[in-house]
Structure 1
Amino acid sequence: MEVTRRNYKDSLNTVYSAIEEADFLAIDGEFSGISDGPNVSALTNGLDTPEERYTKLKKHSMDFLLFQFGLCTFKYDQTKSKYIIKPFNFYVFPKPFNRTSPDIKFICQSSSIDFLASQGFDFNKVFCNGIPYLNQEEEAQLREQTEERRNQHANGVGTPSYISPSSKGPAHVPEEHKDFINRVIEKVEALFTNSEKTLDLEPCTGFQRKLIYQTLNWKGFTWKPLKQKSKVDDEERKRREQQKLEREQEELNDAVGFSRVIHAISKSGKLVVGHNMLLDVMHTIHQFYCPLPEMGVGLFFFFFFLMFQEMITNTSLAELEKQLKEGPFKSPQVETAEGFHSYDTAQEQLHEAGYDAYITGLCFVSMANYLGSFLTPPKAYISARSKLVEPFFNKDHVLYVTFPKEWKTSDLYQLFSAFGKTLSCLISLLSL
């Protein structure tokens, strides 16, 4: 399902339902760039500690924009012996909510943009119809501002734009408003010569009220904000206030936008699967949740790597999917839920985030099911929460090696070559 700003609100309940019923989720992201210095492969290396790799990526990659987020939910149907999938492709863009909202600056990497364009990526859907978002801090500030304005209105306090207590000269009154302002001033001055305690003024616009306040202030009157006499009864006024409150709440939720999907994923506690997903997770937290901490240690994610050594020779997503169709692995049986776009792996749509998330989920199922072949008797289906898979959750397998200082990286690779190719970042599992 393709989701943009145009159909986001109508699709949100469908997204929530898919997340809630899923056995596990697969994600993927597309970015405006990868690294503002050297490319990622040159920026990091296999000898970095997790903290070193995290720090490098945080420094050189977070000014780019994650503008397409792929989510594919997988739910196993026991009666059909297959997974029912629901793929989503979200286009996201940080459109400002109002003049006081954050105006996000981001950079693009020409090679990344050129590559995505060559894959048929539709940038118009991002920039014209991308779903807006706010992180938790931005959302809290916006809600606080809205609540403050609401309290000021309830207490009869005008906004600063209507008050000019420090005016030292006469207010400039446009010609078309002079008669109205003069009538008001005459009524106010006359108030001091009679016994009346109150004064009812004819209805006026916000701009006219501003002119009244400024003119009275210049003439030396001590004043409080004027209230127009309302002919609407209390019940009708309460109904309108409730409608206004609901509109404000809806506008706030619209501003939070895509972050609501991330909140739902986090709240669900479901297993989240990704391919080489460190950047995906870092961008997701940075854009939609909260600022990244200085160090990776203490974040709610760590990574574990399934290692099949000699069985898999290429860990790119396309090649990984092909190899996991062949023995000793088996392709999982899947069915696309009604109303969702059905992907065909024979016609690759790589680098569309929803498709990549779908392929990632297929790879995980194939690998998890392979673990079932070691059981007695063997099992063809292994749950995402099986005890066979669970020991690998949130683990980062690291070899600590000491070696002579004159050794080079190539010497280390040669030393471990006899044990097969270790597939770091083959499939990463994240439990939010």
Structure 2
Amino acid sequence: MSDSNKPLFSRPVLAAIMLFCTLAIWLLNLTAPGKKLATPSIETWTTTSGIPVIWLKQEQWQESDKLEIRFTFRAATTNTPLIQTTLALLMSDSLPLSTASINQRLTPLAASASSYYDHERQSIGITLSSDPQYLVPTLSLLNNWLTAPEFKHRTFENWQRQQQNNPQIQHQLEEILFFDNTQPQRESDNVTISLQDVSNYYQHLTTSATAIYIIGDMSAEAKMAIQNAINTISQDYRLSNETVDNIQHAPLSATIQQQEGELWQTRSALALTPITSVEDWISLQIWGADLVATLNQQPHIDFAQLTLILSPQNPWAWWSIQYGNNINTDLPTDDAMRFINAKSLIFVEEVPSINHPKTFKMLLDNFKQQLEQQSLSPTWWSNIATQVTNQNGPLTLEKFATDYQEAINNFSIEEYKTTLKTLLKPSSYQEIQVYQ
């Protein structure tokens, strides 16, 4: 064999090189930064009436015609049933001279309406198309609807009857957590809400605006049409000058028992510290996922559900647990099947994802995967804008968009533990036990 035909390296050397390359690739994968999340950009302006407008967009949406608009308010009241009633009637047949609900009217235009409220803030949301054939009639309809809604007696009476038969668990828990830990229902829940109260509260909303959010991509023509529309809709809006004082939650945890017999359901509430960073938000997401997963793995529990209400000054969490027919605490004692007291999960030292690094890593990895998909959704960003961030607080939508990539890439179990200790308020825990 001539020198030109000889292999460049001997087999042992080739094997060593291949092993080295494999190790190098593995090391690069190990040390590479996390997958890049969608990075939005933000543009701001104000309406002619002085309401801030925040437009969030990203490259991935340039081929999509989906837009989200959110009108946000801070019309404080301790009467959360009044907020609920007003927004429910608004979402019903509140168009003048119409018996159809707003969504029945919007559906042919590839649009829909929604609302959100907690005890500190409220929002009216519109999902719509930026396609001119849909956009122009949608904006015209929204102008007729939001500038002068008509709350009808028949719809109001039907709603009142429905609520008497299905009272909101959230309102009940909110009351005992923040106002009265001795009564399962507050006295104001029994005070009749009138149609005039609803009309007055809607007017209160319009004078308590905080911002208008636009999420999605839009052409210059669409942007001009939307600017003109929201200027018209918000012409009588005024910026909110209300502040919600930090509420003293119940100083000691308490349990309220309703009826007697077999334990059928528990409803729990826990006050939280206001979130000020993306890391705070991540911590609560992982804790919440851990709480629900841990409870749902219990043989004596049919299912558990959790809601985080991240209002600016008085955030809280509430969850309900539905029990099976037979509650048996004589379960196997191994870690996988041991009986979990639901209340124990409000104490950082008892949280599985704090005590078991593998559990933490699994929850964090799952969360990262979800975030990669969620961050591509305009609806998800709209919910972050209206239910997580606060334009007048330390965690604004702009700060969230800037920080969330680095925060999720660098999040550790040590930071999780430290943050969770400041967020959870175990002494505030309230529980309602329902027997049947």
TM bracket, shorter-chain basis: under 0.3
| Higher percent of residues as strand | 2
TM-score by length of 2: 0.22
TM-score by length of 1: 0.22
Rg bigger for which structure?
A: 1
